[in-house]
Chain A
């Protein structure tokens, strides 16, 4: 029974009931933190990967022509495979998993989680259709039977274009979801988290596709395009990480500076910045040198995306448990 409400563990260990916590109730948290753990970190990561892959596959399908076919194929399959565990991870995380379908009772425009459920369904459907179309083209179901001819009626370009809206939504809504809470770290950065998660989604998807395609070709035009997307998305990511760091300030930003979350955040900033620098350097070098720089850059970009999600999810716990952070967010203006 002692474990039922072990609130004692929620006070920052070693912190005296002194200066920072004097204006609180014995340093106890003002708000209740989220219960989200690793399943949600991986859901955020895979959701971003899926959304980013779908966007890249769509762009490659629309503009890429024949030489971008590998990107379209890998992107469509990756989008579908990455989103598959999503619903499972979310259901596992519920207090009552057998009631997951209660999410489908309502649509609430002001609840990012409600919108997110419907967005996830829309994306899953579109990713499935895109992957199915790709599989038909790749001859997975044979070449000329009635089923294949039927599936080939699916409008290829229209599917690609239609997938971009739910793809961007899936990659970005999680940031809005975190921002629409009372957790100081998330609330203070509400306007930045969506764009940050989007940038990270696109850079990690481009990185994964580059790694998947790296062995089979000699850094052709399509791969250069992927590298360029990664470079641009990483630029946004590095800038937004800096913006989050500054906007959080000394009190609310405490989880970004101290402890395991602080190290993870520093790691996220370091890996994304290094990945960006490597990509920048690769652009200046002759073509045959590029791949050697772009491979480690892609691995670093993926690591950065993972560290960012872990920092934000677990940093939220730390932030919610810090009464000084809540008061910094809600102090009266006078």
Chain B
């Protein structure tokens, strides 16, 4: 990441709440996953071994709203086994992934029922009494967060513990995190903290970056992520897209090209039928 890129810029509203997930503090205990499951009474997942890593959760889903990824960096990007380690870093990367509660959310804009709303905390929540399981929010999310549940046919994702926030409690995952890798609070205060933390890490020689500002992660019309991350490797290593785009940015241009095509085909059709009637009279 070049140093000229403005770090930590977000379009989050002043009153927005969110998460800062600092992966340099995560120890991969999965307490957040368990706390989330318990508080939100989520059913169990596929009870099996992935056979690829110590992570047997796999990814986010309808019944998994926090997912801790265990990334064992066996080789570097050129496929070589690294012989030196970055200071203060093992070859393990841990990331507690979660819904990003985008400033401009693709799932929310896609939802044809209005089931997905923005709450007074500026979080994105799927109203379960409205959702009819059309599934359009699922591929509309650039991060692969919402999913349809096989139990009730509706779309589910992290609510940022809307019920707990209503009662003045912090979300269950942040409450349970033993190392404060998951921090909850006003987005702008968290962003200040993240900026300070990144410069501190860089002073120690760690290649740290914020994922979820307008330079990385919250790009392309998304405007920033209310749940953002501190990463120490390129986002792709964590299975995160570097520069995702808000899918709905393509709606107007696509409708315009479609309208142009409709015009051309309409003219072609009229042109083809122009002499059919004339023959009648002549």
Please determine whether A26 and B273 come into contact, CB atoms closer than 8 angstroms. Answer: no
| Min C-beta distance of A140 to chain B, whole Å | 25
Cα distance A32–B135 in the bound complex, in angstroms: 10
**Nearest chain B CB to A236 CB, angstrom units:** 7
The reply on B132 being an interface residue by CB < 8 A is yes
Contact across chains for B133 and A33 when beta carbons are under 8 A apart: no
Distance to closest chain A CB from B134 (angstroms): 6
Query: Which chain A residues border B77 with CB–CB below 8 Å?
Result: 22-23
Once the chains bind, are B266 and A168 in contact (CB under 8 Å)? Answer: yes
| Given contacts A113-B136, A173-B258, A182 and B45 within 8 Å (CB-CB) | no
Digitize B137-172: 1 where CB-to-A-CB distance is under 8 Å, 0 elsewhere.
011111111111110111100000000000000000
Query: A59 is contacted by which of B154, B236, B269 (Cβ under 8 Å)?
Result: B269
Chain A neighbourhood of B280, CB < 8 A: 65-67
- Determine the residue in chain B with the shortest Cβ distance to A181: B139
**Cβ proximity bits B114-130 to A, threshold 8 Å, 1 near / 0 not:** 11000000000000001
- Which stretch from B9-17, B82-90, B237-245 is at the chain A interface? B237-245
Q: Are A102 and B254 in contact (CB under 8 A)?
A: no
Does B75 reach chain A (CB closer than 8 Å)? Answer: yes
Asked whether any CB of chain B lies closer than 8 Å to the CB of A300, the reply is no
Assuming the A-B contacts A22-B77, A23-B237, A28-B239, are A187 and B250 also in contact, with contact meaning beta carbons closer than 8 angstroms in the complex? yes
Q: A17 and B248: CB pair below 8 A?
A: no
How far, in Å, is B46 (CB) from chain A's closest CB?
A: 4
Residue A74 lies at the interface, judged by CB distance under 8 Å to chain B: no
**Which of these, A93, A114, A164, contacts B112 with CB under 8 Å?**
A114
B56 CB to closest chain A CB (Å) equals 11
Query: Which residues of A from 3 to 31 have beta carbons under 8 Å from B?
Result: 3-8, 17, 19, 22-26, 28-31
Name A195's contact: one of B69, B153, B261, B272 (CB within 8 Å).
B261
Q: Given A4-B43, A96-B132, A111-B110: A63 and B274 within 8 A (CB)?
A: yes
Instruction: Return the chain A residue nearest B136 by Cβ.
Output: A113
Q: How far is the CA of A186 from the CA of B254 in the complex (A)?
A: 11
- What 0/1 pattern do residues 283 to 316 of A give for CB contact below 8 A with B? 0000000000000000000000000000000001
Contact (Cβ within 8 A) A102 B115 = yes
Write the B218-236 contact mask toward A (1 if CB under 8 angstroms, else 0). 0000000000000000101
Chain A: minimal CB distance from B266 (Å): 7
Q: How many residues of B contact A (CB 8 A)?
A: 94
In the assembled complex, A100 has its CB within 8 A of some CB on chain B = yes
Cross-chain contact B112 with A182 (CB below 8 angstroms): no
- A252 at the binding interface (Cβ < 8 Å): no
Contacts of A17 in B (CB 8 A): 52
Find out whether the CB atom of A65 lies under 8 angstroms from the CB atom of B144: no
The answer for the CA separation of A248 and B111 in the assembled complex, in Å, is 27
Beta-carbon contact of A111 and B109 below 8 Å: yes
Q: Is A232 among interface residues, defined by CB-CB distance under 8 A?
A: yes
A167 → B minimal CB distance (Å): 9
The yes or no answer to B257 lying at the interface (CB within 8 A) is: yes
Chain B CB within 10 Å, residue with most, of A24, A33, A111, A229? A111
Q: Does any Cβ of A come within 8 Å of B185's Cβ?
A: no
- Cβ of A183 and Cβ of B139 under 8 Å apart? yes
Cβ of B203 < 8 Å from any Cβ of A?
Answer: no
Is B142 in contact with A25, judged by CB distance below 8 angstroms?
A: no
**A223's closest neighbor in chain B, by CB?**
B276
CB-CB under 8 A from A193, the residues of chain B are 254
CB distance from B150 to the nearest CB of A (A): 6
**Which residue of A is nearest B155, CB measured?**
A95
A99–B53 Cα distance when bound, in Å, is 40
Given contacts A65-B277, A327-B236, contact A25 B242 (CB under 8 A): no
Nearest B residue to A202, CB-CB: B265
Mark contacts of A183-220 with chain B using CB atoms, 8 A cut-off: 1 yes-contact digit, 0 otherwise.
Answer: 10011001111110011001000000000000000000
Contact A1–B47 (Cβ < 8 Å): yes
User: Is A83 interfacial (CB 8 A cutoff)?
Assistant: no
Q: How far is the CB of B213 from chain A (nearest CB, A)?
A: 13
A148 to B219, CA, bound (A): 60
Q: Which of A235-259 contact B (CB under 8 A)?
A: 236
**Which chain B residues lie closer than 8 Å to A33 at the CB level?**
138-139
Q: Does B3 interact with chain A (Cβ within 8 Å)? A: no
B132 close to A2 (CB less than 8 A): no
Once the chains are docked, how many angstroms separate the CA of A34 from the CA of B247?
Answer: 14
Q: Could you tell me if A96 and B154 are in contact, using CB atoms closer than 8 angstroms?
A: yes
Pick the most buried of A17, A108, A173, A320: most chain B CB atoms within 10 A of its CB: A108
Pair A106/B265 contact, Cβ less than 8 Å: no
* Complex alpha-carbon distance, A228 and B64, angstroms: 55
Q: Which residues of chain B are near A105, meaning CB under 8 Å? A: 113-114, 130
Mind listing 9 A-B residue pairs with CB under 8 Å? A23-B237, A65-B281, A105-B130, A116-B112, A168-B259, A194-B255, A316-B139, A320-B139, A330-B241
Instruction: Name B residues whose Cβ lies closer than 8 Å to a Cβ of A.
Output: 2, 43-48, 50, 52-53, 58-59, 61-64, 69, 71, 75, 77, 79, 106, 109-115, 130-136, 138-150, 152-155, 216, 234, 236-245, 247-248, 250-251, 253-255, 257-262, 264-266, 268-270, 272-281
* Nearest 6 pairs of A and B residues by beta carbon: A95-B133, A95-B153, A194-B258, A65-B277, A195-B261, A330-B241
